[in-house]
A and B are shown apart, each in its own frame.
Chain A
């Protein structure tokens, strides 16, 4: 078993890195005048904007995610029971859709500013209003929909912590704040960082929001160079720069916690005490939790609903139901596959403890930071090559044409999803696994379990919450995914995201709202269901 495991992991990693390697292959081709031109004109801007965007989103998601996670895990205040799952809702909202709705509402020509002008008689330039289509706007939009990654993982970590550690810190003289800063936060760090890196990778790969806001960042630059200038070499060089950026982030994080281990060292779990909050503190906690829910979900969903009420009759037909089913089926299938793969890889790393395995896994997960379109192209090229080579061989030897076996099939699409979203399930599964201390493995092994049985009978029940979380995030991510779906899908195959995007990009926001709302609604079901399971899956609870 173990003998086959390592080669298995390396093979999976290789397969999943085919798209990235295909793109990286372009880097070694000689660059033309376009590359010079880009370096002189727009590249420095792209670098600066991408870095600022990532930094802003990091601050935003950490601020919102960690504070709300702590409040809902450790404190008692009015409405807390609801906030536990309300705070997850923005996860169901695709970034490009929240950008459309906010622009629709707060743009200069939108209803809010128009009302202000009508009411006061001011004209353009007479008053200040934050420009929604700006770097700051993009940071806000992305933070609002991406903070649940941090919240979800941080809260799970806070809940899984042993109360004894916290109690000890209190007896050693920490007050509530310092035991948070000095004990709970460091203990939850792997989970928080895992959530943050998901948010950041998604930020760097985002295309819908930044292009709608007209920002010059790496993704928009790659698109423009590749498809606008038709220069795949220069575009691949930019993609490679982006990848290097992400890889450096990953390495820095891994190095910085090299010495530290983050397992909990005691088995004593009792019900977490909740710090009761009163008066102003309770109000403050309430507001802190309400704001992200309102801004990240209620407001945009309300706008979508208002639009959908106007247009749904024209938009819902037989094809609409079909594409909803397509979307759900694709999301579920991919999520299951992705979690199984993640478990295979993560557990392999734990058992084998080999450098090769470690590197392979990091390589396998790089796809999350690559924009969907780039991955799609990285899938099209090798698949078409394989198909055409096989076809040529068959023609030669059997005088028969096999045509395209993989290209243009659902297989190619699901493969692209796996490449793109493996990091999501992997991060979640790994951080769940990391919290189970190795002595558990040793105990199980010494009692005669083989690694696979240990996984099944010991680890999987302990990390049920993490597995469900991974399943949920991948499902929702696949459902929202747009660029790769657009280009790779088979004939006559639509998804909700495709429908919403086609209408919205035709500047028919109101018409697109029904499909957009459907994405949100379908995404809500697993969010709510799983948030309940997670609440019940605290280690040590019965």
Chain B
């Protein structure tokens, strides 16, 4: 009996820390892109935040295995495909919160309220201004046509942004057409896929290819790069084209977050999500990382404004997740490295 008391006492002490007012965050977003917001949240509310950042897929594995004892209250990640995986893994709780529902349009939220988008990113076509006229460009579909033979730079098939792009092609055109498209893209690649999004823009600027597919915020970061002249000049040599404006709109993806199923600080977790979609936090994303806010009417930076308004694909992002595995298989079959 005595032993039992001792054990319990020891364990009570060891778990005291859980009682302080705090919220624990697992983040697939990098520290630099989330910590400042968390600090601001702590300033406003007095709620302490604890953070682990890592690759989202691996954090999800950790979260899943920790089960009901996981310390995580909030899981943040980029790409709808990953949010879908988290939902499938059953780690999220369904939240029906009026503040979130009002701030975020329905197609950027999970239908069951398991995750909510925090920022939008568009995947677009960049063209070398001295070699390509924007009038030659039209849609993603057109990138597979023969006129672009060996003229396109795009990164590898392991990259989730490309997986989600192909997933959106499946949703728009069907599996077979998406396969044909991927085959065509592989034929049109100027070089085997390599590097990240910025590398595609740099290679196109340097003349290795004429078109590059990349997310807009990389372009923004390159244009504002004070120290790296190569990046700055490369970005200046490239123009931004919004594909599919005549039909479904440009493919967008999100960063998003959900409250975990076994969150111990559930109220704080919801408060954090509310904060992240507040006008202040939304503005920060647009200004620091050149992303698009999910909140309608939130301000964007001057630079982002200068790229013009665009029509975005209103496909519910849940679909990207559902099509992900098929997208990977399509790319494998096409020989997309």
List the interface of chain A (C-beta within 8 A of B).
34, 37-38, 41-42, 103, 107-111, 113-114, 117, 123-124, 133, 211-214, 216, 220, 223-224, 226-230, 310-311, 373, 376-377, 380-381, 384-385, 387-388, 391, 394, 398, 400-404, 407-408, 483, 486-494, 498-499, 502-503, 505-508, 510
User: Is B105 in the interface zone, CB < 8 Å from A?
Assistant: no
Q: Given A108-B208, A404-B71, A502-B31, does the pair A507, B328 have CB atoms closer than 8 Å?
A: no
Q: Are A110 and B230 in contact (CB under 8 A)?
A: yes
Q: Are B195 and A212 in contact (CB under 8 A)?
A: yes
| Interchain residue pairs A-B with the least CB separation, the first 5 | A227-B57, A109-B202, A384-B65, A491-B50, A214-B194
Taken together as a complex, chains A and B put the C-alpha atoms of A228 and B208 apart, in Å, by 29
User: Is B69 in the interface zone, CB < 8 Å from A?
Assistant: yes
Among A220, A486, A506, A510, the residue within 8 A (CB) of B158 is A220
Q: Are B50 and A398 in contact (CB under 8 A)?
A: no
Q: Given A41-B332, A109-B208, A213-B194, does the pair A407, B156 have CB atoms closer than 8 Å?
A: no
Q: Are A486 and B194 in contact (CB under 8 A)?
A: no
Q: Are A491 and B31 in contact (CB under 8 A)?
A: no
Residues of A near B227 (CB, < 8 A) are: 310-311, 510
User: Is B53 in the interface zone, CB < 8 Å from A?
Assistant: yes
Known A214-B155, A230-B88; 20 more pairs at CB < 8 Å: A108-B203, A108-B208, A109-B199, A109-B202, A109-B206, A114-B230, A124-B206, A133-B195, A226-B57, A228-B57, A228-B160, A230-B325, A381-B65, A400-B8, A401-B69, A486-B58, A487-B62, A489-B52, A491-B50, A493-B52
Q: Are B196 and A507 in contact (CB under 8 A)?
A: yes
Give the residues from 129 to 168 in chain B that come closer than 8 angstroms, CB to CB, to chain A.
155-158, 160, 163
Taken together as a complex, chains A and B put the C-alpha atoms of A490 and B24 apart, in Å, by 11
Q: Are B30 and A506 in contact (CB under 8 A)?
A: yes
A-B contacts, 27 of them at CB < 8 A, read: A34-B329, A108-B208, A109-B205, A117-B206, A214-B192, A214-B193, A216-B337, A220-B158, A224-B328, A226-B57, A227-B61, A228-B324, A229-B325, A377-B61, A380-B61, A384-B67, A486-B58, A490-B52, A491-B24, A491-B50, A494-B31, A502-B32, A503-B30, A506-B33, A507-B196, A507-B198, A510-B228
Closest to B12 in A: A400
Q: Are A377 and B69 in contact (CB under 8 A)?
A: no
Taken together as a complex, chains A and B put the C-alpha atoms of A483 and B54 apart, in Å, by 9
Q: Are B31 and A391 in contact (CB under 8 A)?
A: no
Residues of A near B324 (CB, < 8 A) are: 228
Q: Are B218 and A507 in contact (CB under 8 A)?
A: yes
Q: Are B234 and A492 in contact (CB under 8 A)?
A: no
Taken together as a complex, chains A and B put the C-alpha atoms of A423 and B308 apart, in Å, by 57
Q: Are A227 and B58 in contact (CB under 8 A)?
A: yes
Q: Are B332 and A211 in contact (CB under 8 A)?
A: no
Taken together as a complex, chains A and B put the C-alpha atoms of A311 and B225 apart, in Å, by 12
Residues of A near B208 (CB, < 8 A) are: 108-109, 124
Chain A proximity of B5: nearest CB distance (Å): 10
User: Is B207 in the interface zone, CB < 8 Å from A?
Assistant: yes
Give the residues from 197 to 241 in chain B that come closer than 8 angstroms, CB to CB, to chain A.
197-199, 202-203, 205-208, 218, 221, 227-228, 230, 234
Among A34, A103, A488, the residue within 8 A (CB) of B195 is A103
Q: Are B55 and A227 in contact (CB under 8 A)?
A: yes
Taken together as a complex, chains A and B put the C-alpha atoms of A229 and B167 apart, in Å, by 13
Residues of A near B221 (CB, < 8 A) are: 507-508
Closest to A37 in B: B329
Taken together as a complex, chains A and B put the C-alpha atoms of A346 and B156 apart, in Å, by 44
Main secondary structure of the interface of B (DSSP, over half): helix
Among B8, B156, B163, the residue within 8 A (CB) of A398 is B8
Taken together as a complex, chains A and B put the C-alpha atoms of A403 and B328 apart, in Å, by 37
Closest to A221 in B: B158
Q: Are A492 and B51 in contact (CB under 8 A)?
A: yes
Among B50, B55, B69, B325, the residue within 8 A (CB) of A487 is B55
Q: Are A408 and B158 in contact (CB under 8 A)?
A: no
User: Is B305 in the interface zone, CB < 8 Å from A?
Assistant: no
Chain A proximity of B74: nearest CB distance (Å): 12
Give the residues from 322 to 336 in chain B that come closer than 8 angstroms, CB to CB, to chain A.
324-325, 328-329, 332-333
Taken together as a complex, chains A and B put the C-alpha atoms of A491 and B18 apart, in Å, by 13
Chain B proximity of A450: nearest CB distance (Å): 38
Q: Are A487 and B66 in contact (CB under 8 A)?
A: no
Taken together as a complex, chains A and B put the C-alpha atoms of A403 and B19 apart, in Å, by 13
Give the residues from 12 to 36 in chain B that come closer than 8 angstroms, CB to CB, to chain A.
12, 15, 18, 24, 30-33
Taken together as a complex, chains A and B put the C-alpha atoms of A391 and B71 apart, in Å, by 14
Chain A proximity of B327: nearest CB distance (Å): 10
Chain A proximity of B170: nearest CB distance (Å): 15
Closest to B207 in A: A124
Q: Are A388 and B7 in contact (CB under 8 A)?
A: no
Chain B proximity of A49: nearest CB distance (Å): 11
Residues of B near A400 (CB, < 8 A) are: 8, 11-12
Residues of B near A407 (CB, < 8 A) are: 62, 65-66, 69
Q: Given A227-B55, A398-B7, does the pair A507, B67 have CB atoms closer than 8 Å?
A: no
Q: Are A109 and B203 in contact (CB under 8 A)?
A: yes
Q: Given A109-B202, A223-B158, does the pair A404, B329 have CB atoms closer than 8 Å?
A: no
Chain B proximity of A523: nearest CB distance (Å): 23
Q: Are B65 and A214 in contact (CB under 8 A)?
A: no
Q: Are B206 and A491 in contact (CB under 8 A)?
A: no
Taken together as a complex, chains A and B put the C-alpha atoms of A401 and B69 apart, in Å, by 9
Chain A proximity of B223: nearest CB distance (Å): 14
Q: Are B66 and A384 in contact (CB under 8 A)?
A: yes
Taken together as a complex, chains A and B put the C-alpha atoms of A492 and B156 apart, in Å, by 32
Taken together as a complex, chains A and B put the C-alpha atoms of A491 and B234 apart, in Å, by 38
Among A229, A380, A489, the residue within 8 A (CB) of B65 is A380
Residues of A near B312 (CB, < 8 A) are: none
Closest to A402 in B: B11
Q: Are A507 and B69 in contact (CB under 8 A)?
A: no
